[in-house]
Amino acid sequence: MGLLIRLLNASPKAARAFRDISFGIWAWIAMVVGDVNLERFQNWLWGTPQEQRQILQQLQPLSKEEEALLVEFQQHMDTQYQVQLLKRYVLTLPSLPTEGF
């Protein structure tokens, strides 16, 4: 549970996207995390940035394994975002005379 909150807090873009599709994911999270962590997660998701920082401070520290996975995940997400930007840029380029109509 804490790892999910840390992942979403690490990337504002991921948090925004998560909030946009939160209803569908909310039902899944309710089944996975259960009643114990659901209130904490809800407080983090809808809380102000100050409340979110306070909740993050209350979480248990990550193990070295989890920290390494978090760093790797962040690198993958950054790479995926850069690839999406590159795809958008390539689509704006004019075609060659031998391409298209």
Give pTM, 2 decimals.
Answer: 0.43
**Cα three-residue angle 4-69-72, rounded to 5 degrees:** 105
Domain boundaries, the chain: 2-92
Tell me 100's DSSP state: -
Is 59 within 8 Å of 6 (Cβ atoms)? yes
pLDDT digits (tens, 9 = 90+) for 47-86: 788 887 777 777 777 788 888 888 898 899 899 999 999 9
pLDDT value at position 61?
77
